[in-house]
Structure formats: structure tokens, C-alpha cells
Structure 1
Amino acid sequence: MDVSSVFQILALGGFLAGFAGVALVVAAASQNRPVRGGVVLAVAGILAGIVLLIVSQGLLVVGPTERAVVFNTVTGNLETPRQSGISIVIPGVQVVTIYPVSRQSYTMSGSIQEGDPTRSDAITARSVDGQQVTIDMTVIFRLQDGEGLNQIHRDWSNEPGGYLEGLIRPTIRSIVRDVVAGFEAESIYGIGREQMDAEIEARLTEVFADNGIVVTDSLVNDVSFSDEFINAIEAKQVEEQQLQRARTEAERRRAEAVGLADAEIERARGEAQAILIRAAADAEALRLVSQQIAANPNLIQYTYINELADNVNLALVPSNTPFLFNFDDFTELSDDFVPPEVDQPQLPDEVEVPEVSTESSEAGD
């Protein structure tokens, strides 16, 4: 119970006392008794009731989350909004309208449990590629204090539904539709939704600020599309997943082919290196044999005899053979015989093998 209610109760008590005084006057007059006491009670009670009633109407109590817009009917101007607390107004001259300055939320949803219980209020828009997009949205806001309240009262006090139906609802619908019209539906369905949300909030903040309203937050609760669009998106995602799997499998096979080609190249390189090493060793051996033959011409005959069996002392050969020599020339060497010096065999430390390109094998994949 506020102070004005207390004064109204007191005023009611004064009027009741005045009516009681009138009743006493009537009773005393019917009995030919003095009526002065009743008259005094009646006058005092009625006057007290009137005064208390005027006082109760002139006391303005403003709550902590409220502000009072005061319209002066004499000057036709809006006064500075009254802050929270008790203040005095002149009944009949100063008309008071109370506005909340705490945070408010306005929800537009297709579900009556979330938005307006009397209607489906979801926002239907068209994307830049012509797809239908349905959006459920909540805007959290508060009214500007001071001159902003006077502006709201001046612009929307006579509008049915006030600033909520006259400003908040149509502005949200218009801005959401404009923003959605700049995006493709597939982008809204995917990573473009955050950008869309941010652009909607920026536009709402700018427009409402010019109309005395501060936007605290805007929330896109739900975005829905037509069944045909959703089916098309899901089919596209399945196709992309299959394509990605095919690419992965192709990469795996290509890697395997490159690995096998590299292994084959290394094997061929090893074989080539071994062949080159053997060839180099054979060439070195032949060089050494040539040096020995040049130093000792009888080396061929000696080698021939050395290859004979140990029990062979006489060999019969054709008359035209060149291998007719005296065995004693090779078994009974003089004391001063010195074999010729021959260089130690040198094998190459490293044999270069030509590089083999794998571009052809990769191109074949």
C-alpha cells in the first residue's frame, strides 16, 4: 500500500464522518433539538474528505524501475520525467503516464508458448537466392531515461499496443527481412549465420537508438527452411562426403604407388651399383693380369700347367698347338729370379648411379 492509497482511505473516512454529521442533523431536526453539532461534523468531515482526496490524487509514487512522463495540460508540453520516489502533481493539470525503464524482452516466434500467445509471430523472409527462411527471434531492450521517454510517449502513446506494437515489432520484422535478403540460404544454414546475427543486431541498435530505445541484445532462437531445401542440402553434404572419401582413397593409392615405385627404384639402383662394382672389380682384375703377362710372358703357360691335375707329368697335345714348352723352365727357377712388382688392386669407393625420375609413375596415377 502506497502513500496515496493511505490518503484515499483517510478521505473516505472524512466523507463517512460528513455523512454521519448529515444524519445527525436530520435526526436532531426531526426531534426539535439543536443541530449545530451535526452540522459541524458534516461540514468538517466533507471538507476533510475533499482535502484528503485532493492530496491523494496529487501524490505521485514512482517505483525504482519506473519513470513518470508528465504532460502539462495548461502549457501543452511534456515536463522532465519524474524519477523514482514521491512527488506532487496537480490533478487535472498534470497528466501522468508511467513507463518501465528496466530491461524488457520482445519475442517473435512460431510457438505460442514462447511469443505472443494469441498468434504465430515468426518472421518469414526470402534469401537472395529465393529460398524461404523462417526465423524466431528475441530482442532485449530498455527505454532511454530522460528525453528518450518523452520521445517515446510523444510518438507512440496513441498507438494501439503502444511502442511494442507500433515500433518494436514492425522494426524487427523489417530489419530481419532486409538482412536475410542479402544472404544465400546455404550460407545462413552454415557458417554465415553468425554474420547474419551480428548484422541484425547492429541494424536494430542503430534504428532503435534514434527512437529512444537501447538494445541490450538480440537473439536468433531458431532458423528453419523448407523441406525441399533441407533435403537438397543433406544430399549435397552426402555427395561431398563421398567425394572426399574418394579423394582420400585416391591419395592413399597414389602414396602406395609412389612408395612401391621408390622401392623398385632403390632396388634397381642397388642392382646397378652392384653390377658396376663387379664390372669395376673385373676390369681391375684384367688390368692386373695384363700387367703380370707384360712382366712375365711365361705366365700364360704357367697358369695352364698350374691348372693341370697334380698327377699329370706328360700331356699329349696336337702337333699344331702352341703350348709346347719345357716343364723345367717353370719348376726349376734360378736363384736370382725375382717376380715383378704389381700394384695392389684398387676398387672404387663409391660408384655413382644415375637418378631415376618418378614423375612418369606419378603421372600414370
Structure 2
Amino acid sequence: MNFKNMKVPKVPLRGIGALLSVGVVGGLGVYGLHNSVYNVEGGSRAIVFNRITGIKDKVYPEGTHLIIPWFERPIIYDVRARPHETSSIAGSRDLQMVKIVLRVLARPVPDQLPTMYRTLGVDYAAKVMPSIVHETLKAVVAQYNASQLITQRETVSREIRKILTERAAKFNIAMDDVSITSLTFGNEFMTAIEAKQVAAQDAERAKYVVELAEQDKKSAIIRAQGEAKSAQLIGEAIADNPAFVTLRKIEAAREIAKEISNSANKVYLNSDSLLLNLQDLKLT
């Protein structure tokens, strides 16, 4: 097919201008329609920047909203609480170094979004949170000893939350939760804690030994008192009735005879030496 001999139809200049006008108008219409509507998703708020008047004071809620294309643009903020974890090394009142990890749930105050954008911008958390968290942790930890940070952890966390909430409110940031997730002490402090525990165990062991010796002492005193009382009663019995000695001899002879009778061997003994000469006793 030979294209060299083909003739191109002539289009009037007015027709070309009309087509260009329609195309430009249509393009502007599509651009304006596309850029005159924006959506605010759930959990978000929007503010509008106008090229002439600047940031508007109105905060737009969730939903679809209209703006003037090119002259205005929306700025979307996520107003849901987001976690921020910060680690800081601080000194306690007794000069112990403590590594403390703090987790906070923070969110921007929706009504103050225009002011926040003017002063901090969209990345408010990166600009504000590290500085106020570090300063608050160092200020609070310095008020407590290392041992108090362990035993009074709830009180320390409550104090940190109070101060941090007040500091964040100045930047239009709300704190929903503040909690200490980790407390780590230096090696010297951990060694001192272990030594203290060992000393406490040794003290308890020594206390037990002292109490045991005290009980043994009381037992010996009671036993001696009992023997003395027994000797006193025996002396009184002998003084009142000389036959008491004879009764004791009979009881001793009975026990000796019982032991000998239970023996498997034959035993020949002198009865005088084993209190077996009962016939010689004076029973009257």
C-alpha cells in the first residue's frame, strides 16, 4: 500500500481550536473534580491549608469534605493513641545508675490541631516525646534511692505520669497511659544486693543458732531444777521413812534380775554385789 500518494483531508483552523478548547476545559474539569473532594478516615482529623489565608482554625471530622482545588490542601492527623517507648539512663538519689524503659500512649488533642501544625508540624512525636520523657525520667529517678525504685515502683510510675502529662499538655499532646516496662541497675549495685542477701541469710542463721542455744540453756536449767527437786523429795522421803531406801533396793534388784533372766547365757554372780540379797534386808 503506497502512502506517498494519499491526500490528508484539510481541517479548518476553527475546528482545531474548538477541539483544543474542549480538551482543556474537560481536563480542568476532571482535575477540579478530583482535587475538590477528600476523605477523612476513621480515627483521623483534618485541617485545611489555604494559600491565601494560611491554616484554617476549623478541624474537620471523619467523612468526605470539599476544598478549593490548588488554593487549598488537606492535612490529615491520626488522633488515635500510639505507643512510644523510650529508654533512658538516670542517676538515683544514692548515685546508682539506672536504665529505665518507659512506654507511653500519646495522641494529639483534636481541637488543637491547627496550633500544633503551626508550632510542631505533623511529626510532633519525634520532636517532643524524646526530650520531655528523658527530662521527666531523670527528674523523678533522682528523688528515690535504688532500693525504693524497686519497692515503690507504682509510686514512681504514678509520679512520672503526673509530670509527663503536665509537660505534654503544653504541646497539646494527651497521655492516655504511662508505665515502666524495665528497670536495670549497674553491676556494682547488683553485686551489693547479692552481698546484702547473703549477709541477711547469715544473720538469720546466726539468729537461729542463738535461739537454739537459748532453748538448750532453758532445757538444761529445767532439767537441773527437776533433778534437784527429785533429790530433795528423795531426801525428804528417806528422812520421813527409812524404808524408802529398802524399796529402792527392791526395785533395783528386780530390774537386775529381769535383765539376767532375759540373757541367753548362764550367769553366776555374788548376790551381795548386785543387791540380790533381799533376804538380808530389814523390812521393818
Q: Which runs of 5+ in 2 are unaligned?
A: 1-7, 242-284
Residue 165 of structure 2 corresponds to residue 165 of structure 1:
no
Q: Which amino acid aligns with 2:120?
A: W
Partner in structure 1 of residue 84 of structure 2: 106
Partner in structure 2 of residue 54 of structure 1: 32
Asked if the contact 2:45–2:77 (Cα under 8 Å) also holds between the matched residues in 1, the reply is yes
Cα shift readout 1:261-315 (whole Å, capped 9, x = no counterpart): 344445545665x469749967xxxxxxxxxxxxxxxxxxxxxxxxxxxxxxxxx
User: How far does residue 212 in structure 1 lie from its aligned partner after superposition?
Assistant: 2.0
Partner in structure 2 of residue 235 of structure 1: 195
Partner in structure 2 of residue 123 of structure 1: 88
Asked if the contact 2:90–2:99 (Cα under 8 Å) also holds between the matched residues in 1, the reply is yes
User: How far does residue 86 in structure 1 lie from its aligned partner after superposition?
Assistant: 0.5
User: How far does residue 82 in structure 1 lie from its aligned partner after superposition?
Assistant: 0.8
User: How far does residue 35 in structure 1 lie from its aligned partner after superposition?
Assistant: 5.4
Partner in structure 1 of residue 179 of structure 2: 219
Alignment of 1:1-365 (within 5 A): 31-34=9-12, 38-108=16-86, 122-146=87-111, 148-157=112-121, 162-188=123-149, 190-266=150-226, 268-269=228-229, 272=232, 274=233, 278=237
User: How far does residue 126 in structure 1 lie from its aligned partner after superposition?
Assistant: 1.2
Asked if the contact 2:55–2:114 (Cα under 8 Å) also holds between the matched residues in 1, the reply is no
Task: Kindly report the root-mean-square deviation, in angstroms, between the aligned alpha carbons of the 2 structures.
Answer: 2.9
State the distance in 2 between where 1:81 and 1:173 align.
32
TM-score, normalised by the number of residues in structure 1: 0.57
Higher strand share: 2
State the distance in 2 between where 1:36 and 1:280 align.
159
Asked if the contact 2:47–2:55 (Cα under 8 Å) also holds between the matched residues in 1, the reply is no
Q: Which amino acid aligns with 1:128?
A: R
How has the CA–CA distance of structure 1 residues 155 and 38 changed in structure 2, closer, same or farther, with 3 Å as cutoff?
same
Task: State the identity as a percent.
Answer: 26
Q: Which amino acid aligns with 1:195?
A: T
State the distance in 1 between where 2:50 and 2:12 align.
48
Asked if the contact 1:71–1:79 (Cα under 8 Å) also holds between the matched residues in 2, the reply is no
State the distance in 2 between where 1:94 and 1:79 align.
14
Q: Which has the higher contact order (CA 8 A, sep 6+)?
A: 2
Q: How many residues align?
A: 235
How has the CA–CA distance of structure 1 residues 151 and 238 changed in structure 2, closer, same or farther, with 3 Å as cutoff?
farther
Asked if the contact 1:127–1:180 (Cα under 8 Å) also holds between the matched residues in 2, the reply is yes
Q: Which amino acid aligns with 1:180?
A: V
Q: Which amino acid aligns with 1:80?
A: K
Q: Which amino acid aligns with 1:90?
A: I
